[in-house]
Amino acid sequence: MENRFLAQAYKANHSIWNYVLGIILVVIGALVFSLPYNIVVANKIAEGTADASRVEDLNYLYTLMDSNLSMFYMMLPFVGGMITLYLVIKKIHKQSWINLTTSRTKIDFKRVFFSFFFWGSMIVLLNGISYFLSPESIVWNFDAKKFAVLLLLSIILIPIQTSFEEYVFRGYLMQALGVSTRTKWMPLVVTSVIFGLLHYANPEVKELGYGIMVFYIGTGFLLGVMTLMDEGMELSLGFHAANNLISALLVTTDWTAFQTAAIFKDTSSPSLIMELVAIAILYPVLLFVFSKKYKWKSWKEKLI
């Protein structure tokens, strides 16, 4: 059985060298848009207000400027990457954006929104349970002016960031590996592992240990399975946007990659409990709900 989503690449210029060139250009596009942040940090080092030996520490960088400003600068590379990816798809691959997104004749935004609100509700519920179990560790962090700016930036920039990651991993690379290897399991495994490993530099790894990599790679597999089984990226787009957007607005900490002017602040010691609950319980529940709602069949054929 052919996976219709992977087969969308055959409708485009799918030479492996086109994909190699495309990835190089996307990386360059992201790097160009990272220059403003690097220039700001370099100026602070020159002024003596920043320690050059610590700028690789993301937690330290958050102390150098307002959290909203940091977020704006950190989101810019994803904007650059998304713009470049769009041009690569149109100019090099001659592929429609719809074919990169889904096997359906048009993007199913109902799927995007269902995934967004379903997973978003689970995040809120999980944080509610966390507060119930340890209310003293969740403190009020609301600052109306800062939160208003955060809300505006988040609504605009976070969906770009999450969509860029999805289009690169669950879209571009998955289709590229699908047509080049003529397999289904290879795109799933490779994109999931690379997606997880790219989070290696996150502060969470230092705080929680290498066990967190199981969560990152596992999340990659979840998103990959959703894409292959549903033969489109809509569900993964909604999930990823909800995960980052609601997390950024609802609860922040002093040790994660995303430190924001959120409504609440978690002051508890770093723990893997939330991630383990997600991997062991919530992700299987999510796949079960989606499989029933969208009548997924032929798991083995679509994934392997």
The model's pLDDT over 70-85, given as tens digits with 9 standing for 90+, comes to 999 999 999 999 999 9
Please give the structure tokens belonging to residue 14.
């799918």
Quote the domain boundaries for residue 9. Answer: 4-303
pLDDT tens, N- to C-terminus, the chain (304 residues): 578 999 999 999 999 999 999 999 999 999 999 999 999 989 988 988 888 888 777 777 778 888 899 999 999 999 999 999 999 999 999 999 999 999 999 999 999 999 999 999 999 999 998 889 888 999 999 999 999 999 999 999 999 999 999 999 999 999 999 999 999 999 999 999 999 999 988 888 888 888 999 999 999 999 999 999 999 999 999 999 999 999 999 999 988 888 899 999 999 888 888 899 999 999 999 999 999 999 999 999 999 8
* Structural contact between residues 240 and 179, judged by C-beta atoms closer than 8 angstroms: no
Please give the structure tokens belonging to residue 26.
């996307």
Nearest to 221 by CA among 187, 174, 189, 184: 189
DSSP for 200-214, written as a single string: TTSHHHHHH-TTHHH
Length of the chain, in residues? 304
Q: What angle, rounded to 10 degrees, do the helices at 16-33 and 174-181 form?
A: 160
pTM comes to 0.95
Number of structural domains (the chain) is 1
pLDDT at position 80: 98
* Structural contact between residues 30 and 86, judged by C-beta atoms closer than 8 angstroms: no
Nearest to 81 by CA among 6, 152, 8, 171: 171
Please give the structure tokens belonging to residue 8.
């969308």
* Structural contact between residues 239 and 120, judged by C-beta atoms closer than 8 angstroms: no
Nearest to 173 by CA among 220, 111, 110: 220
pLDDT at position 142: 94
Residues 6 or more apart whose Cβ sits within 8 Å of residue 87: 25
CA-to-CA distance for 95 and 71, rounded, in angstroms?
A: 32
pLDDT at position 60: 77
CA-to-CA distance for 202 and 194, rounded, in angstroms?
A: 14
CA angle 190, 274, 222 (to 5 degrees): 25
pLDDT at position 1: 56
